[in-house]
Amino acid sequence: MDTTSILLQITPIPFLSIVIWGLLILAAMYLARKPFHRSVGALGRLVRNAMRLAAASVVQAEKRLETRNREVLLKAGLDHAERHLEREFDRISQAVNRDLESYPKLQRNLQETLIKLEEDYRSSTEIPQSLPDWVKVIEAIAKIKPNGDHMVANMLEEIHQTLAEQHKTALDRHRKDVAQRHGILSRMLPVWRGMHKTLEGLEKSISSLNLRAKRIDQYMDEYQETRRQTDTAYRTLSSSSLTQFFISGLVLLVAIGGAVINFNLIALPMSEMVGGASYIGPYKTSDVAGLVIICLEICTGLFLMESLRVTRLFPIIGSMDDRMRKNFFWIALGLLTILAGVESALAFMRDRIAADMEALRQTLAGVSPGSMATSIIPTVGQMVMGFILPFILTFVAIPLESFVASSRTVLGVVAAWSLRTVAFFLRLAGNLGFYLGRFLANLYDLLIFPALWLEGVVVRAMSRNNAKETEREQPPSVEDGQGYAPAAEGGKEVAE
């Protein structure tokens, strides 16, 4: 016999047993009502307060993180702006050195050119000698008509000849002078052109300097904005950081693709060097060796970029003195070239091994190996790729630096957002706990509503009796209403 049957057999009629049990449970629940309400209310308040406390703590942590993020971002922005300014100053210094270092020479050239031009000008101002005045006299004599005198005619003939000769000589000299003058003037033309070109170059240099100065002004503005830690600067830096994160992430993904191809090029031939049967953990030693070579190439590439001051991942390299840095660069470049050479040789070996394997496979399949294609293009292609890929991987340093720098900001933003979400859910859980407690209390009351209804009826009857007794004991007065007050309060208390 199970418990239910026993419970139903307290009277011969099961329905009556159910009713009795129901009444007993109702009575028990009515008696336990106030402690239940208190317990549930306390539990609800406990949950709400605990959650609110936790949420407040999380919000505080989020604010601290936000402040820290802001500080880090502004510091990074400041560094960035400083770097930009430094580079621009470097460039302007180089431009000034390049263009204005030769300024004295340029000035001397210009002066020399001007002197030359002046001399030429002076030379060209000398007017050619005009024809002599006596020519007019002789010309007048020559125009005298011969009157038949033979002697006069001869004389005049002589004069005419002399005059013609003199005229020719004078004209030749005049032409020569004019030609000389023209020669001087035409010699001046290239000098003028040269001067024009020099002045144009000067103008270009000056306008380039102007442009750089404007850019420096712009960077200076940004720098000052960042230094003032304004909201605009923060927003700009934040958005720029997010863009950097996604772009560098994308480029890194492409680089990972390149590294995978590189790995596939050298993994098989590495088994020829380190053996194809040994394992490091669950991975083939040859695979690990190939991976290590690629990692070494990437590391060497990082050092190379670092020594060129393109990236600043290792400040110690950037802060080396120039000679040592230059040596470091050449060492890194040498190592990278050696690694690229090794990889190229491995790519060649891979091609040979793959061809041998294919030949064996064909033999095993009963196909003559002679039918295999023997083009050298794939071999050369693999070798070139094996040589170039390490150098291409060198450039990974640039997106890597951006990624590392921007991921700090992005992670900070994500962490702040997560904390905010956690705080929201904590508050929500607190409120849910509190109102769930109230709901449970109301549900409890709903379950025992017959007892509560009965209590209400009894209380109302009792308060009516009390009121009547009070009326009988005291004469009616203006303050009658006060007599009902405790009953009403009591009723309220019960209802609660």
Partner 1 sequence: MKGGHKKLFAWILAVLMIWPACFACSDSKSHTKGVYLLLDTSGTYKVELKKARALINYLLGTLQPGDTLAVGRIDTGSFSEKDIVAKVTFDDRPSVANNQKRAFMQKIDKFIKSSARSRYTDISGGLLQAIEYLNEVGPGSKYILIFSDLQEELAEGYVRDVPFQLSGFHVVALNVTKLRSDIRDPKNYMRRVEQWRQKTEKGGGTWRVINDLERLDAIFKD
Of residues 280 and 457, the one with the C-beta less far from partner 1:
280
372 binds partner 1 (CB under 8 A): no
Q: Classify the C-alpha dihedral 298-301-306-311 as positive or negative.
A: negative
Token readout for 51 is 């959650």
| 230 φ/ψ angles, rounded to the nearest 5 degrees | -75, 160
367 binds partner 1 (CB under 8 A): no
Binding characters for partner 1, 392-421, by CB under 8 A (x = yes): ---------x--xx--x-------------
Specify whether the CB–CB gap between 356 and 268 falls below 8 A: no
Q: Could you tell me the smallest distance in angstroms from the CB atom of residue 311 to partner 1?
A: 10
Q: Could you tell me the smallest distance in angstroms from the CB atom of residue 298 to partner 1?
A: 10
Q: Could you tell me the smallest distance in angstroms from the CB atom of residue 53 to partner 1?
A: 33
272 binds partner 1 (CB under 8 A): yes
The size of the interface with partner 1 (CB under 8 A), counted in residues, is: 37
Of residues 46 and 72, the one with the C-beta less far from partner 1:
72
69 binds partner 1 (CB under 8 A): no
Give every CB contact of residue 388 below 8 A, 6+ residues apart in sequence: 340
Token readout for 88 is 């621009």
Q: Could you tell me the smallest distance in angstroms from the CB atom of residue 232 to partner 1?
A: 21
Choice from 63, 75, 87, 214 touching partner 1 (CB under 8 A): 75
84 binds partner 1 (CB under 8 A): no
432 binds partner 1 (CB under 8 A): no
Site for partner 1 in 297-336 (CB under 8 A): 299, 312-315
* DSSP bridge partners of 280: 283
370 binds partner 1 (CB under 8 A): no
Of residues 271 and 344, the one with the C-beta less far from partner 1:
271
Of residues 79 and 101, the one with the C-beta less far from partner 1:
79
Q: Could you tell me the smallest distance in angstroms from the CB atom of residue 357 to partner 1?
A: 6
Choice from 365, 373, 377, 446 touching partner 1 (CB under 8 A): 365
Specify whether the CB–CB gap between 205 and 157 falls below 8 A: no
The length of the chain in residues reads: 496
In angstroms, the CA 456 to CA 118 distance is 126
Of residues 79 and 469, the one with the C-beta less far from partner 1:
79
227 binds partner 1 (CB under 8 A): no
Q: Could you tell me the smallest distance in angstroms from the CB atom of residue 293 to partner 1?
A: 12
| 5 φ/ψ angles, rounded to the nearest 5 degrees | -65, -40
195 binds partner 1 (CB under 8 A): no
Stretch that binds partner 1, among 102-110, 240-248, 355-363, 424-432 (CB under 8 A): 355-363
Stretch that binds partner 1, among 11-19, 50-58, 356-364, 461-469 (CB under 8 A): 356-364
Choice from 49, 129, 363, 470 touching partner 1 (CB under 8 A): 363
Q: Could you tell me the smallest distance in angstroms from the CB atom of residue 9 to partner 1?
A: 59
Stretch that binds partner 1, among 112-120, 224-232, 267-275, 375-383 (CB under 8 A): 267-275
Stretch that binds partner 1, among 5-13, 59-67, 72-80, 163-171 (CB under 8 A): 72-80
Choice from 132, 276, 378, 456 touching partner 1 (CB under 8 A): 276
Stretch that binds partner 1, among 7-15, 173-181, 271-279, 427-435 (CB under 8 A): 271-279
Q: Could you tell me the smallest distance in angstroms from the CB atom of residue 76 to partner 1?
A: 6
174 binds partner 1 (CB under 8 A): no
Of residues 63 and 75, the one with the C-beta less far from partner 1:
75
142 binds partner 1 (CB under 8 A): no
Q: Map the chain to HEC letters.
A: CCHHHHHHCCCCCHHHHHHHHHHHHHHHHHHCHHHHHHHHHHHHHHHHHHHHHHHHHHHHHHHHHHHHHHHHHHHHHHHHHHHHHHHHHHHHHHHHHHHHCCHHHHHHHHHHHHHHHHHHHHHHHCCCCCCCCHHHHHHHHHCCCCCCCHHHHHHHHHHHHHHHHHHHHHHHHHHHHHHHHHHHHHHHHHHHHHHHHHHHHHHHHHHHHHHHHHHHHHHHHHHHHHHCCCHHHHHHHHHHHHHHHHHHHHHHHHHHHHHHHHHHHHHHHHHHHHCCCCEECCEEHHHHHHHHHHHHHHHHHHHHHHHCCCCCCCHHHHCCCHHHHHHHHHHHHHHHHHHHHHHHHHHHHHHHHHHHHHHHHHHHCCCCHHHCCCCCHHHHHHHHHHHHHHHHHHCCHHHHHHHHHHHHHHHHHHHHHHHHHHHHHHHHHHHHHHHHHHHHHHHHHHHCHHHHHHHHHHHHHHHHHHHHHHHHHCCCCHHHHHHHHHHHHHHHHHHC
Would you tell me which residues interact with partner 1 (CB under 8 A)?
72, 75-76, 79, 268, 271-272, 275-283, 288, 292, 295, 299, 312-315, 352-353, 356-357, 360-361, 363-365, 401, 404-405, 408
